[in-house]
Amino acid sequence: MYNLTSPIENTLDGLALNLSFDVILKVLELQRESMFSMAEKRDLALELLLQNPKKLSKYSSIQKTDLLRRIFDEHVFTGKKRSPGNDTKLFDFEQDAEFIFASFLQAYGIDLIERQGKLPWQKFRALFRGLPEDTKIREVMEIRGKKLPKPTKYNGEDIKALREAKRFYALDVSAEEAEQQFQRGLDRLANTLAGRAKKAGETDGRR
């Protein structure tokens, strides 16, 4: 969230945005689909994120890519980032969906299924970060982030139990890795489009 004295801003360049938590999660899940090109993922994401996608008809491909990047930079990927040296996978919104659902219901009495289309992403993310330690997702995150102790003649069973728990709760891709993949995909698309535009300009100049 931004601050407690201003309303949540859900517009960008005069475009009304649909920033409910489930829409953002759908967009992030979409980025993992291999059946779509990055340009197709961008267009599908914008259709989900804009309340009136028809307004994009006048946007060039480069402008649409820049718009999606700005939506995520200014409204989604906000707040403190994890330090580059910490590569522990702690959570993933898709793989941990059941744990997160149970944790929100336990801590806040919020049924996330019933709140689809209603709970803004900014509030969802703030509530997620504030979940108490006794909730399931926090317990799982603690297991994933906990380092194995140095073995002694007394802790062999504890190390075995922790190793098995880590294996059980291991993630394929963490939420932060998914965000990074999304950003890299947009960077590649932007560079490709810029290269094509430059090449087209050079071709026109030689005519």
Ordered by start, the domain boundaries in the chain are 11-81+176-206
Per-residue pLDDT, averaged over 125-130, amounts to 95
The predicted model gives 30-50 an average pLDDT of: 89
Tell me which of 67-76, 84-93, 173-182 is least confident.
Answer: 173-182
Is 48 within 8 Å of 23 (Cβ atoms)?
A: yes
The whole-model pTM stands at 0.79
Q: What is the mean pLDDT of residues 24-28?
A: 92
Q: What confidence category does residue 70 fall into, taking pLDDT thresholds of 50, 70 and 90? A: very high
The lowest-confidence range among 111-120, 128-137, 149-158, 184-193 is 184-193
For 62, the token pair is: 């480069």
Q: What is the DSSP track for 74-134?
A: IIIS-SPPPPTT-------TTTTHHHHHHHHHHHH---TTTTTTTSBHHHHHHHHHT--TT
Write down the pLDDT at residue 85: 46
Distance CA 142, CA 135 (A): 11
Please, are residues 63 and 95 in contact by the beta-carbon 8 Å criterion? no
Per cent of the chain over pLDDT 90 is 56
Q: What is the DSSP letter of 20?
A: B
Taking residues 138-165, report their average pLDDT: 93
Q: Where are the alpha helices (DSSP H) in 169-207?
A: 175-206
Rounded Cα distance, 122 and 136, in Å: 22
pLDDT recorded at residue 206: 55
**Position 9: which residue type?**
E
| Dihedral (Cα; 82, 85, 86, 89), 10-degree rounding | 90
